[in-house]
Copies of this chain bind each other. A is one copy, B any other.
Amino acid sequence: MEYKFRCECPITSALDILGDKWILVIIKLMLIQDKKTFKDFTESDEAIATNILASKLKYMEELGIITKTQLPDNKKTNLYLLTEKGLALTPIIVELSIWSDENVRVHNKIMKDSPEIEIMKSDKAAFIKLKQENYKAKNGFDIRIKR
């Protein structure tokens, strides 16, 4: 539970936490693609290896970005859900989408369109609020047990 930071800069410190290949991808899977179980994540297009997934989920839980919970009628399947701290990353995901749409397509020819990109661009704040509220409406009031 002790993390290493390169220096006193807030931006660099954020990247000490988020700056790797997987953390923000996992956030995206949860927020945009509704993934919540270990199996959900392993079946995504990104094809994350199970050992890496396990270690990243543990790390994110420790940091308070996600929680690990269970449904009361199932002792096997765990639910991984975004906390407020995790949901607060939504603006970063949105800005990555927009930058990608305008600057990455030239490198990745098979990249999909974001269906919501125009809505995103025309009113960022509204889009962010909507995504966050939809997430909470779907996942915030489930009956579940913290473990």
Contacts and interface: CB of A to CB of B under 8 A. Distances in A.
Interface of A: 3, 5-22, 24-25, 28, 32, 45-47, 63, 85, 88-89, 91-93, 95-105, 107-108, 110-114
B8 A45 contact: yes
Q: How many copies does the complex hold?
A: 2
Contacts of A3: 107-108
A11 B97 contact: yes
B112 A8 contact: yes
Given A88-B103, A108-B5, A114 B10 contact: yes
Contact of A28 (B12, B63, B85, B101): B12
A97 to B, nearest CB: 6
